[in-house]
């Protein structure tokens, strides 16, 4: 069984400030971890993923995430928020074999000018 | 490359009516998924196909939902009869890697409103 918990359904940040979105997971096997972004009335777009190897993963649009096995976490960060980062972000966990993704409840990011 | 195509984009039906959604995955992607996303929640997997075979349909309400992928390419998802709680966005996704480790590519979804 696998599950994902995203802390905070809404996050408000000022333009230029750090963006930090928290994600904790549970998985009975080594996980694949993903962050997706969803803009209004659109599908989900892959930001970044962790499967194996380096635990610090860089993605598109300046985002990165770090896999911490001891903390079962995969938090998403961006050093400086831009207005275009306003969207909903989903963390997801999968397993290596016959993969299906389990998504968290999402975090909506609001960027203030 | 072309993305995952879904139609229609929006659909409004009355409860107890039937509805069908269509998905065309990225060419060459063997694995296709249908997800249900209720407003304010993360997507929930309904069914997973590998080519034209079902891999996982454990969360598909089989008394009213059905899905098929006859030729291992396009897929349709049907609801009959619809209930108010079926109002959601239905997302189709596909992946090249059979393990999904490359991440999915999602379509824009079909927003269903049941009144």
Q: Tens digit of pLDDT for each residue in A80-97? A: 999 999 999 999 998 765
* Residue B34 token pair: 């249908």
Residue-level pLDDT at B82: 97
How far is the C-alpha of A92 from the C-alpha of B24, rounded, in Å?
23
Looking at chain B from residue 40 to 99, which residues have their Cβ under 8 Å from any Cβ of chain A? 40-45, 48, 55-56, 91, 93, 95, 99
Please indicate if any CB of chain B lies within 8 Å of the CB of A106.
yes
Residue-level pLDDT at A56: 95
Query: Which residue carries 């962050």 as its tokens?
Result: A35
Residue-level pLDDT at B95: 87
The answer on pLDDT for B100 being more than 70 is no
Nearest to B42 among A51, A94, A104 (CB): A104
Residues 6+ apart with CB under 8 A from A92: A4, A33, A34, A35, A36, A101, A102, A103, A104, B42
pLDDT digits (tens, 9 = 90+) for B18-50: 999 999 999 988 899 999 999 989 999 999 998
Chain-wide mean pLDDT for chain B?
Answer: 92
With cut-offs at 50, 70 and 90, classify the pLDDT of residue B75: very high
Please indicate if any CB of chain A lies within 8 Å of the CB of B22.
no
Residue-level pLDDT at A10: 95
Per-residue pLDDT, averaged over B69-98, amounts to 92
Residue-level pLDDT at A98: 55
How far is the C-alpha of A94 from the C-alpha of B103, rounded, in Å?
10
A105 contacts in chain B (CB < 8 Å): 40-42
Question: Which segments in chain A show pLDDT lower than 50?
Answer: none
């Amino acid at each position: 069984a696998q599950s994902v918990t995203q802390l905070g359904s809404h996050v408000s940040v000022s333009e230029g400030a750090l963006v930090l979105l928290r994600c904790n997971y549970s998985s009975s096997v080594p996980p694949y971890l993903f962050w997706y972004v969803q803009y209004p009335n659109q599908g989900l777009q892959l930001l970044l993923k962790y499967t194996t190897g380096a635990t610090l993963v860089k993605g598109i649009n300046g985002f990165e995430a770090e896999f911490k096995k001891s903390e079962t976490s995969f938090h998403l960060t961006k050093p400086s928020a831009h207005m275009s980062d306003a969207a909903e972000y989903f963390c997801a966990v999968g397993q290596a074999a016959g993969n299906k993704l389990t998504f968290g409840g999402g975090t909506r990011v609001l960027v203030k000018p | 490359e072309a993305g995952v195509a879904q139609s229609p984009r929006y659909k409004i039906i009355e409860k107890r009516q039937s509805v069908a959604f269509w998905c065309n995955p990225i060419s060459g992607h063997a694995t296709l998924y249908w997800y249900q996303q209720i407003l304010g929640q993360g997507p929930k997997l309904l069914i997973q196909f590998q080519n034209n075979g079902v891999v996982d349909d454990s969360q598909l309400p089989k008394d009213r939902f059905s899905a098929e992928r006859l030729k291992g390419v396009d897929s349709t998802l049907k609801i009959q009869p619809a209930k108010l709680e079926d109002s959601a966005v239905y997302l189709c996704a596909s992946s090249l890697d059979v393990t999904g480790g490359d991440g999915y590519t999602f379509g824009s979804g079909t927003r269903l409103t049941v009144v």
